[in-house]
Amino acid sequence: MITEVAIEKVHAGFRVDGLALLGGTCGCSGLTGPDGVGVGDCCQTYSMVRKDGNVITFFAKGTTSTTKNNFKSGYRVKKGPIEVDVTAYDTRDPKNFTFGGYYPPPLLEWQAKGWQVVRQIEEPLADTGMALLEWCQRAPAVDGPDPILWPPTLEL
């Protein structure tokens, strides 16, 4: 028996089966302003989410030009016709800056709600994660497009 999955549009993202997937930035979007304003580590971090049909895709970037010991992690879960695809770039080293976005729910929270794990990854990230997935080549600008409505192309 397949239970219908509730997907709610909420500010900055979606609530899927009660779990929040939210986009966020520090507000500087990694852009350099007058006198170098907006170049801090927080400005290089963010999270984004979008919905394309029955797939919710989430990406978080917690790496910067100064982080070391970086890694890529993620998972894809499925419940009925709905799939949630999560990718995150992060560091195992201590952070001396505020993360500009939101982290995804842990995989265990999806499993507790009956979601099937389609795939799970965790691997070293050789650089700082500046070469990003096509649909999130830049953090959304403060006055830019809603990150939820960004182009629906994704290559993993």
Q: Between 156 and 20, where is the model more confident?
A: 20
Within a domain: residue 74?
A: yes
pLDDT of 10-38, one tens digit each? 999 999 999 999 999 887 755 544 444 44
Within a domain: residue 155?
A: no
Within a domain: residue 149?
A: no
Number of domains in the chain: 1
What mean pLDDT do residues 41-56 have? Answer: 91
Within a domain: residue 37?
A: yes
Within a domain: residue 147?
A: no
Q: Residue 42: CB partners within 8 Å, gap ≥ 6? A: 26, 28, 97, 98, 99, 100
Within a domain: residue 116?
A: yes
Residues 88 and 60: beta-carbon distance below 8 Å: yes
Distance, CA of 51 to CA of 40 (rounded, Å):
30
Whole-structure pTM value: 0.78
Residue 61, pLDDT > 70, answer: yes
Within a domain: residue 5?
A: no
Within a domain: residue 122?
A: yes
Residue 124: domain span: 24-142
